[in-house]
A and B are shown apart, each in its own frame.
Chain A
């Protein structure tokens, strides 16, 4: 306590001193004082009390002092909005200062002060600065429009700043053009269909001219903007490419990568037989290789992008294998990426070199890297048939080193090699079997078991080997259990006489003693197959397996196309679409590559908005199918109650879009069932959905599947699977969910409440002992009691089980039934319940105990809903 007082005391003294200095007559003293204030600000001390004194220093013609004061203002204006108003006059005055540096400084700083009251005063000065005679002021004002738009988009539109900004694209100064492009691109991103960046051949021409003249950063802005344009035909596409290629020799890697993006995209439109097409392909390789001599962080970005480019157009870098060889001193993230690309480029022509390298890498120190190298050897074998033999012998050499993780990794890849080249390399099985005991990773164990099962007829002691795994069956991971089950069945079908006992043992382990549904199901299927029709069993279990593909880890083609449109950006580094890591409406729009030879329809706006393709036949989502199966399979009493849809967003509030919906849990998947109705006069397209952070981290598990445009008066039902791994924030009420739905018209927001029973997971049945212990362990303060009135039920527990509320025990005391139940929420919270039912009394009493007592109320509501329904 004393130390806090002491610090405060010092601070107060300091502030007093600074105050005096700030009000000094001497300029130098003032300047030093403001510097001290900023110093305190930097180390996190609160110097906001000095606001009026600092603002007083603003009226000076000294540029240095002015800059210092502005710095201070930016930091504190938000916490002192009323005070900030005091500075407005000076700002407005500074915007007319004869010195262009001061004019620019004023308009730049004003834009950084995010106080509503100030923005009103900003409009007039900004309008003047946008038309200032000095380019430095104009380029600053251009960015300021984007700032203002971020604070108050409506204001920017109303004031007509967007049009002024568009005019700046034709400015005579290249830097002004570049900043205007940057600002417009950013604003356009938050209005995907606004047609803001009206790119046409004339404006493209202006951009290309400015490209030659502006700073390196400006070139990046312009190239990134160009990449959003779709040329009208291949001639235009070629002429843009011709003017962009010189950028490939720029010293700035970002300029190079953005140029590559434009070229990769526009190349799609060029006919492949064109001479220029070949020339362009050749021109792309050297700059990409040069990127690898940049600093390691940039190399990493470049390699992630090259990984995409190699998948899209392998011909570009096919002769450049050597540059991807790993250097001993490369940082690990560069090494791993290089290895990935080496595998992709491996071909018959270079396989010998690649293998020699990979073998070298397999003896390095970093475990991840070594594993990946071993895996890469396996992949080479699968990819290049001629090399398979050499790869296998290399892998055997590595197994001899007896380094545990190397051996395990090698066995995993050898399994794949066996699948690819059946009956070719079985001679190595003996060596593999020697290492059985050292395998401790599930993947390696599963691979080994698969091998033993697959080649059971050639391994004399196959039964012994498999039996040894069976001892600890329940401690194995699911992967191993499943593999073991299949392997033993295979063995039985091949050597029925000696292994009857073994197969029975595994079948009973799988079906009776396991609580894993996958394992049980597979066990039952085998059991029935074997008991009814052994011939059919043979056909099924020992069927010829489909060949595995040569390439693995390929990015799915539509995603790859989208990522190619994002070369150079974070999306290309993460290999994920921007919507996966960007919040809000920004970047939700999906980009696509243009198609070759097609004339772009006259849909004006280049980004999105192209005519919808023939709607693909709609495949019912997996959740639905499973739901059906479940309904067929299980007895009626456990069918969960279905909620009636509620109107969440009335058409009045959403420009004609009405959304009603409900939630359901099917086969362990939470579904948000949405009914979208178009009550407007125009067609709605481009639907997307986002959730705000919520108490249980609910988030859409996939995009909103509205594939056809929604015409007027049409209704569509969509079910959106939800995951529970999104960002978490406690809401009030707890089960509140804030949703944003976007379509081509606007973004709409609504909130709804989901029944908490959606979050009750299927494995919520607690062991009795655990229940007792937990019940005792949770403090009594966390217990809450509720009454459920007017309930007439015969078997509450069946009904509750349908909603994943599991009855663990039942006790009858003095004519009262006591039911003990457990619930597990998707985030792992357990709720324990005690339900008292007295014969003849329609009122039930329920006590809930939970470590997070705030959920009790919600859980109670859910009980009430289930029991009364």
Chain B
């Protein structure tokens, strides 16, 4: 079947090439115990809602590395296909790479088959991959999209579990956001209502969770197209730098200057021809 040669063929078993290397590095020599860098997590609030004509996805924009905000304008709504977008929570690198791979696979598929990809196909590919890695890939994803079968919202967990739901929140701020969604969600809302609901849900997550903050991004997907609103709501706490911290050359006065010539002697010279293209 065309599909089997299109998708990235999976090597049998799991790929843990680097885990032995990591263990050796961590338990290194007594003095040189290297601590593994903590992966950047998007302690996050992401939410999604199905409304009358499509799907609205929302996310905050803060990426944290332990207690420091590493990125204030992180984009957590990733492009998968023209009609499918995905919000990612968990380890930033994992969600980024997973969604990139998924997007490439789906593009190849649609070029090969001449069809627009369906949301359920994206979900199945994700589920396969995450299950194969037994939870080692820390990606908690909300997929939303509109295809020929309708508007869909799915969530895929890092162990490979999948749920299909009409409204959803994920991330460390999901408890607060879920409260807003449970209270105000109605079936078949119109666009403005749905946007307000998702924005308020993400806002609740930002207010109640330390790992979420800064701006709110929204992404509205309908049969006609996609409206990526970045930012939908900007944080009122955008600090403007009071002064410039760059110093002009000449600020520090030069007192003395000594030049020492290095005595170097050419000992050995080799020339290697590089293969640059065909002859």
A, B from the same assembly: no
Q: Which residues of A contact B (CB under 8 A)?
A: none
Q: Which residues of B contact A (CB under 8 A)?
A: none
